[in-house]
Amino acid sequence: IEKKKTELYQELGLQARDLRFQHLMSIATRNNRIIMRMEFLKAVITPEFLLILDYRHLNVEHWLGNELASQLAGEGQLVTYSLPFEFRAIEAILQYWISKLQGRLNTLQPQILETLEALVDPKLFSVDRSKLHVLLQNGKSLSELETDLKVFKETILEILDEEELIEELCLSKWTDPQVFEKSTSGIDHAEEMELLLENYYRQAEDLANEARELRVLIDDSESIIFINLDSHRNVMMRLNLQLTMGTFSLSLFGLIGVAFGMNLESSLEEDPRIFWLVTGIMFLGSGLMWRRLLSFLGRHLEPALPPHVPAVLKKSQPAAGRAEIKNSLKAETFGLSRNTLTNH
């Protein structure tokens, strides 16, 4: 139906601000009416009907036409059909919103895992920027999902912390006198409402934990990516340093050839063997110098050996609370002096 806003809030006995569209989540009661805001979805619940405001959204239309009617009639997966109408309406809306959040998480999770698997490859010497762009977009979507889950949980938790708010959500309890009679016979609608809200709070908490695990996985993968890049960078720096040392060695012994290349006469240039002798000395000296520099580099770049740790007495805690020493320890472990243990 289409109706003017002024006529609608006068008919429902609400204020104009109650029908204002806001991109936030809230569950409140006004004049024996429940107003639920779930971002683009806004609903007004009475003991007799459920009013969805501005449903022109593709997914909402599918939900309205195929799922909502059966949920309100108690024919679907819901088990609260014996309770008043507002219980079924609240549960239908909460179920729809949890399904939306679950669908967003199911869409993000395989994309993030596939992107991380392609990035965290030790064989790659560089990072694909297109994959990083995809990971950045998925990370932003994951942050938005975490924010929506946090707001959803806070909205429900705010009601669970106040017993009066839970009582106000039970509309039929205040309008139908027979509800009081049923409540006295063992059915407490406030407790049923509390259990209903706690159920969806736990579902939101489970989704938040899954999203948190994805966030931790992204952070750990970023650390692995940086470690791989640093490792490849260190290899290139080491190769560059080796080539620099080789060039230095060759240049140092190349001074001999420079000396013989000067336009100065000596008796050495008359001997035909001097050329091969000087050339051999140059290359042999350059090779020895390079090997010496490489050995010096290897000694200073090799990781230090871990310190020696003496055998530690392994203890086990029995039922009586005593610590038993295992018989498999070597005898010399018991012979260690106090000074030796202190030095270690």
Contact 203, 97 (CB under 8 A): no
Question: Is 196 part of any domain?
Answer: yes
**Cα gap 119→286, rounded to integer Å:** 43
Question: Is 74 part of any domain?
Answer: yes
The residue ranking higher by pLDDT, 163 or 149, is 149
Question: Is 342 part of any domain?
Answer: no
**Cα gap 161→201, rounded to integer Å:** 13
**Cα gap 35→12, rounded to integer Å:** 11
DSSP string, 215-281: HHHHHHHHHHHHHHHHHHHHHHHHHHHHHHHHHHHHHHHHHHHHHHTSS---SGGGSTTHHHHHHHH
Which residues make Cβ contacts (< 8 Å) with residue 260, sequence separation at least 6? 268, 269, 278
Of the chain, the percentage scoring pLDDT greater than 70 comes to: 73
Nearest to 93 by CA among 32, 29, 157, 42: 42
Residue 41 reports pLDDT greater than 80:
yes
Question: Is 297 part of any domain?
Answer: no
Question: Is 184 part of any domain?
Answer: yes
| Full domain range(s) for residue 223 | 5-233
Mean pLDDT, residues 24-51 taken together: 84
pTM beyond cutoff 0.75: no
Query: What pLDDT is recorded for position 259?
Result: 72
**Cα gap 22→14, rounded to integer Å:** 16
Query: What pLDDT is recorded for position 331?
Result: 39
Query: What pLDDT is recorded for position 340?
Result: 37
Which residues make Cβ contacts (< 8 Å) with residue 15, sequence separation at least 6? 9, 30
With residue 325 as reference, give the H or E element that holds it.
strand 324-325
Q: Give the mean pLDDT of the chain.
A: 75
Mean pLDDT, residues 86-108 taken together: 91
**Cα gap 198→153, rounded to integer Å:** 10
Mean pLDDT, residues 10-17 taken together: 78
Instruction: For residue 116, count other CB atoms closer than 10 A to its CB.
Output: 20
CATH code assigned at 206: 1.20.58.340
Give the rounded distance of the alpha carbon of 161 from its chain centre: 29
* Backbone phi, psi, residue 258, to 5°: -65, -40
Mean pLDDT, residues 146-160 taken together: 91
Residues constituting the chain: 344
Question: Is 246 part of any domain?
Answer: no
Query: What pLDDT is recorded for position 301?
Result: 59
Question: Is 209 part of any domain?
Answer: yes
Which range is least confidently modeled, 3-12, 152-161, 260-269? 260-269
Query: What pLDDT is recorded for position 63?
Result: 80
**Cα gap 272→254, rounded to integer Å:** 20
Provide the residue type at 234 as one letter. N
Question: Is 306 part of any domain?
Answer: no
Per-residue pLDDT tens for 199-231?
A: 999 999 999 999 999 999 888 888 877 777 787
The residue ranking higher by pLDDT, 270 or 141, is 141
Q: H-type helices in 120-188, by residue range?
A: 129-160, 163-169, 171-175, 177-184
Report how many domains make up the chain.
1
